[in-house]
Amino acid sequence: MAKVHPNMVPRPATVGERAEEEAPTTLTVWRKSLLFDCKGFTVFDARGNLAYRVDSYASENGDEVVLMDAAGRPAFTVRRKRFSLQGEQWLVFAGEETRRPVYAVRRSGRGKTMAHVTACSAGVAGAAASASASPSFEVEGSYARRCCVVYDAERRAVAELRPKEVVGTDVFRLVVQPGVGVSLAMAVVVALEQMFARPSLLRSWSS
């Protein structure tokens, strides 16, 4: 992680790089913002370039967090939604649009499953992600230990959080299999941080 600043100039993909697209994508997630007086994530690709970042000022309550790419463009917005009977869930919106969620992430109290990631119906607001909807993905494991696996509906492991040797839980790996949106996988990590981290970098637990 010696190289902090990204290479912002796009380069034409070589034959070798196109072949790499069929291989898993491995990111290094650092639970630290590069901005002064901010909390958040800094995420590096396999070459050490900046891939994503989340910056949240300490004064914010964490109810809404924006995942940005290396150029600062919003990839997903993750927002907390409270329900009187269902508790709370985290809605995932494309970019900065916050009217129609594309996914919802909510806790699970059943067995090894710690969270469900449910696709929301197009054109339906937050209520679309109800408890009766079938989960698109299930997350098993322990976020506290940075050891989680995301399974699709066919029980294929499509993404995984792995602890990084020696350095503790503030730096860990996110491995995403081909065919799964890397940005979406990172948005799920943001939601898991808000739901399970004690204390969370992105959320005030007094709120």
Q: Is the peptide bond before 199 cis (omega within 30 degrees of 0)?
A: yes
Please give the pLDDT value at position 155.
94
Q: Are 191 and 139 in contact (CB under 8 A)?
A: no
HEC string for 85-105: CCEEEEEEEECCCCCCCCEEE
**Domain at 24-196: CATH code:** 2.40.160.200
Give 10-residue mean pLDDT values along the chain (207 residues).
Answer: 44 42 90 85 95 76 85 93 73 91 89 92 45 73 94 95 84 94 96 86 55
Full-model pTM: 0.81
Is 99 buried (19+), middle (13-18) or exposed (0-12) by CB count in 10 A?
Answer: exposed
Please give the pLDDT value at position 168.
78
